[in-house]
């Protein structure tokens, strides 16, 4: 019973938050508003969704905000020349960045937070290079032709939401129903056991980080589509909320435990907390303070201390 | 056989000890070949000046990394203390004007943030990189929120002379950095805390069994780091004559690069504040050289990223790591 409650604690927390915000401002309770709020959360969810896999194996990816920014630059810089191909190019760029972080971490045996931090420096420079250190506007006609899948509405539901749902379903299948997902959970729970059973752990890790990079890039593409421009600093301020979403959703930083829907719920919690704070008149700048402490608190609650002999 | 193994170990150790200095020397030669302007007195003073704040920040970060932990809150604490200092001296937003007394206040606030880092990390048993990431972001948030996104301009020439004033032709910031280095060196070499930090980094479990107050030492190391970041924030405010959250942009990266490139191992127990000073000069000479060669400034973070990777992979004693997370 206790375990059951713990599993759904994030959902309960989200429901309470929604009720609180709704009690404060009844106009919050409308289907349209819910759809809009969820659609606004999707870029955050996309960024966090891939990192969920990395955190599940007990690692971390600190390069996602640089990767998303770089992807927006690639998209904006090449959309006119390459058309629709600029989108896979941007996602490929992100995947390569993720793979690079993974290679540095696994082959050179460097802790993932420092490996991805180092790679993020390179990625940031690459973003500046692609954009020529400027912010690049995406002309509305190009946006209408190539990016309408990310902005707009179908069947009354914002397109961001469709993208988010499709990604969530695909990633959930990948994590819950495939051998790859099982290995991800295995590595997070007991890496040495997985190594001992003869599985090439490094390959799985490479795949997880590559996925994380690709999804961060996809988030960057959707962000650029929504804002109508790409810039080397577009996704700044997204790293903390993205990691907070994963942890608040109940995925443990120590690895092994977690799922993609948790990150979805976590992203919604972050968004509703943000809306709630805005209603209460907390300045946008001050909200970061709250998120910093929420992150630390959530890490403290969810992590499995029996796994760590010494906390460094 | 054993003698051979021992001598390879000796060579490895010598290599680890001298490699950073050799890299620095090679870099200096290389840059001066490309551009003779590198070897002028004016450029040398410029190098010292741009090394001052990174050295101060590295003094704090070195102690944390020596314990095998990491501190990602550098930027948050520097931004916050720089903003606090600029608001306390004569400025265009508040009516305070406490002059030089702003410096100790800001430094103490840095220490308080460090205490928060250490206390949460030790008591809640959260990994240091997560704790400091969260608290660092909170610090950045405080710096931005206090100013509401504005920039505060400093109108106190005495406070600014902390960085811009000159003694024997060398900027005050350099002398202050030198003093910070000597303090850090004394702590490292002459105090129990210094010894304990090494012991914790080498083997925390054994250190605990040996009766070292590990938790207290950890918290104290984070406080020390915070005090140095506070000093860094004061120097940054004095140098630029203004306070805002962006004043600390890129400093985390430079700090970690310098510590790691200097030869302090991320796994803890190996390294020293002397290494970190050498590391700072490697980073600063490289940046200076790139400017002299006309390379775009935005490339620097990329180069620093590659430096981190190269240095960590050369320095890390990977035989002891079964699992890398």
Which H/E stretch holds residue B243? strand B242-243
Dist. CA B69–CA A66, nearest whole Å? 24
Domain limits, chain B: 40-249
Distances (CA, A) of A139 to A143, A147, A219, A241: 6, 11, 20, 29
- Structure tokens of B174? 């350099």
Strand segments, DSSP code E, in chain A are 136-137, 153-154, 157-158, 229-230
Q: Is the CB of B134 less than 8 angstroms away from the CB of A299?
A: yes
CB contact under 8 A, A293 and B205: no
Q: How far apart are CA B231 and CA B227, in angstroms?
A: 6
Whether A296 sits inside 8 A of B316 (CB atoms) is no
C-alpha closest to that of A184 among A15, A56, A37: A56
For residue B144, give the nearest of A121, A285, A310 by CB distance.
A285
Q: Which residue of A has its CA nearest to B67?
A: A312
Of A118, A289, A311, the CB nearest to B142: A289
Burial of B313 by CB count in 10 Å (0-12 exposed, 13-18 middle, 19+ buried)?
middle
Dist. CA A123–CA A126, nearest whole Å: 5
Query: Which residues in chain B have Cβ-Cβ distances shorter than 8 Å to A294?
Result: 134
Question: What share of chain B in percent tops pLDDT 90?
Answer: 45
- φ/ψ bin of A15: left (φ > 0), alpha (ψ from -120 to 50), beta (otherwise): alpha
For chain B, what is the mean pLDDT?
87
> Higher confidence at residue A254 or residue B323?
A254
- In terms of Cα–Cα distance, which of B57, B56, B35, B37 is closest to B46? B37
Does A110 touch chain B if contact means CB atoms closer than 8 Å? Answer: yes
This prediction has a pTM of: 0.86
Q: Which helix (H) or strand (E) holds B242?
A: strand B242-243
Predicted complex ipTM = 0.80
Q: Which of residues 74-93 of A touch B (CB under 8 A)?
A: none
For residue A36, what are the CA distances in angstroms to A14, A160, A163, A272? 16, 10, 14, 12
Number of H helices and E strands in chain B, helices first, is 13, 4
A112 touching chain B per CB within 8 A: yes
Is the predicted pLDDT of residue B2 greater than 60, yes or no?
no
- Cβ contacts of B239 within 8 Å, gap of 6 or more: B53, B160, B163, B164, B173
Cβ-Cβ contacts under 8 Å for B142 (sequence gap 6 or more): A286, A289, B76, B80, B83
Angle between helix A31-56 and helix A179-196 axes, rounded to 10 deg: 30
Hey, CA dihedral for B230, A114, B253, B202, is it positive or negative? positive
* 8-state DSSP, A8: H
Whole-number Å distance between alpha carbons of B309 and B307? 5
HSE of A295, CA atoms in CB hemisphere, 13 A: 27
CB contact under 8 A, B301 and A287: no
Query: Which domains are seen in chain A, by residue range?
Result: 9-16+33-303 (1.10.3470)
pLDDT value, residue A2: 58
Cβ-defined contact of A299 to B313 (cutoff 8 Å): no
List CB contacts (< 8 A) between B323 and chain A.
191-192
End-to-end CA, chain B:
35
Residues 6+ apart with CB under 8 A from A68: A47, A94, A216, A217, A219, A220, A223, A234, A235, A238
List the pLDDT tens digit at each of the 312 positions of chain A: 556 666 788 888 888 888 888 888 888 788 888 888 888 899 999 999 999 999 999 888 999 999 999 999 999 988 888 888 889 999 999 999 999 999 988 888 888 888 898 999 999 999 998 888 888 888 888 777 777 777 877 777 788 888 888 999 999 999 889 999 989 988 888 888 888 888 888 999 999 999 999 999 999 999 998 888 888 888 888 888 898 899 888 888 888 888 899 999 999 998 888 888 888 888 877 888 888 888 888 888 777 666 666 666
CB contact under 8 A, A312 and B128: yes
Three-state DSSP class for B154? strand
pLDDT tens digits, residue range B71-108? 999 999 999 999 999 999 888 888 887 888 899 999 99
3-state secondary structure A130-159: HHCCCCEECCHHHHHHHCCCCCCEECCEEH
Residue B128 CA, distance from chain mean position: 16
**A286 CB within 8 Å of a chain B CB:** yes
Query: Comparing C-alpha atoms, which of B231, B222, B228, B223 is closest to residue B102?
Result: B231
Residues B3-57: tens digit of each pLDDT = 555 566 777 777 777 888 888 888 888 888 888 888 888 888 999 999 999 999 9
The DSSP element (H or E) to which B166 belongs, if any, is strand B166-167
Residue A70 in contact with residue A223, Cβ under 8 Å? no
What are the CA-CA distances from residue B106 to residues A184, B102, B137, B314 (Å)?
45, 6, 18, 37
Q: Closest Cα of chain A to B158: distance in Å?
A: 31
Chain B's closest residue to A106, CA to CA, is B324
Q: Give the nearest partner residue to A110 out of B129, B133, B309, using CB atoms.
A: B309
């Amino acid at each position: 019973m206790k375990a059951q409650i713990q599993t759904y604690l994030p959902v309960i927390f989200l429901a309470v938050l929604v009720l609180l915000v709704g009690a404060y401002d009844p106009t919050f309770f409308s289907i349209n508003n819910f759809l809009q709020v969820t659609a606004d959360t999707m870029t955050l969810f996309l960024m966090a969704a891939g990192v969920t896999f990395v955190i599940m194996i007990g690692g971390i990816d600190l390069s996602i905000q640089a990767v998303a920014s770089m992807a927006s630059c690639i998209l904006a810089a090449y959309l006119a020349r390459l058309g629709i191909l600029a989108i896979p190019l941007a996602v490929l760029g992100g995947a390569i960045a993720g793979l690079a972080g993974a290679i540095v971490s696994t082959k050179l045996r460097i802790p993932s937070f420092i490996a991805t931090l180092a790679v993020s420096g390179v990625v940031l420079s690459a973003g500046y290079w692609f954009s020529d250190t400027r912010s690049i506007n995406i002309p509305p006609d190009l946006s209408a032709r190539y990016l309408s899948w990310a902005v707009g509405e179908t069947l009354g539901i914002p397109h961001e939401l469709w993208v988010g749902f499709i990604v969530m379903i695909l990633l959930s299948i990948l994590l819950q129903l495939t051998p790859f997902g099982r290995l991800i959970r295995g590595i997070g729970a007991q890496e040495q056991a997985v190594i001992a059973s003869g599985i090439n752990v490094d390959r799985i890790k490479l795949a997880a980080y590559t996925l994380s990079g690709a999804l961060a890039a996809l988030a960057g593409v959707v962000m650029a589509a929504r804002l109508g421009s790409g810039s080397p600093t577009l996704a700044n301020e997204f790293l903390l909320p993205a990691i907070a979403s994963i942890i608040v959703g109940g995925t443990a930083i120590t690895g092994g435990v977690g799922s993609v829907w948790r990150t979805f719920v976590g992203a919604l919690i972050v968004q509703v907390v943000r809306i709630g704070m805005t209603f209460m008149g907390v300045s946008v700048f001050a909200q970061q303070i709250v998120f910093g402490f929420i992150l630390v608190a959530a890490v403290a609650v969810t992590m499995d201390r029996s796994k760590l002999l010494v906390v460094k | 056989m054993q003698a051979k193994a021992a001598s390879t170990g000796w060579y490895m150790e010598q290599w680890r000890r001298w490699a950073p200095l050799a890299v620095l020397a090679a870099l200096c030669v290389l840059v001066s070949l490309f551009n003779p302007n590198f070897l002028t007195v004016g450029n040398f003073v410029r190098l010292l000046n741009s090394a001052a704040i990174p050295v101060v920040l590295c003094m704090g970060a070195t102690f944390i990394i020596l314990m095998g932990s990491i501190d990602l809150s550098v930027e948050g604490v520097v931004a916050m203390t720089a903003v606090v200092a600029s608001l306390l001296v004569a400025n265009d937003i508040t009516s305070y004007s406490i002059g030089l007394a702003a410096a100790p206040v800001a430094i103490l606030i840095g220490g308080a943030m460090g205490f928060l880092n250490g206390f949460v990390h030790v008591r809640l048993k959260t990994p240091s990189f997560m704790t400091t990431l969260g608290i660092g972001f909170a610090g950045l948030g405080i710096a931005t929120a206090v100013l509401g996104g504005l920039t505060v301009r400093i109108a106190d020439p005495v406070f600014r002379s902390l960085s811009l004033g000159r003694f024997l032709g060398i900027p005050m910031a350099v002398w202050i950095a030198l003093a910070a280095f000597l303090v850090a060196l004394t702590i490292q070499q002459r105090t129990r805390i210094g010894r304990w930090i090494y012991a914790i980094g080498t083997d925390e479990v054994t250190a605990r069994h040996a009766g070292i107050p590990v938790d207290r030492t950890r918290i104290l190391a984070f406080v020390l780091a915070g005090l140095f970041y506070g000093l860094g924030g004061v120097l940054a405010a004095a140098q630029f004559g203004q306070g805002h959250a962006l004043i600390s942009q890129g400093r985390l990266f430079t700090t970690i690069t310098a510590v790691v490139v200097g030869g302090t191992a991320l796994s803890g127990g190996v390294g020293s504040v002397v290494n970190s000073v050498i590391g700072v000069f490697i980073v600063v000479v490289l940046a200076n050289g790139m400017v002299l060669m006309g390379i775009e400034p935005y490339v620097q973070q990329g180069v620093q990223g590659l430096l981190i990777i190269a240095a960590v992979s050369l320095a890390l004693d990977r035989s002891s790591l079964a699992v890398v997370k």
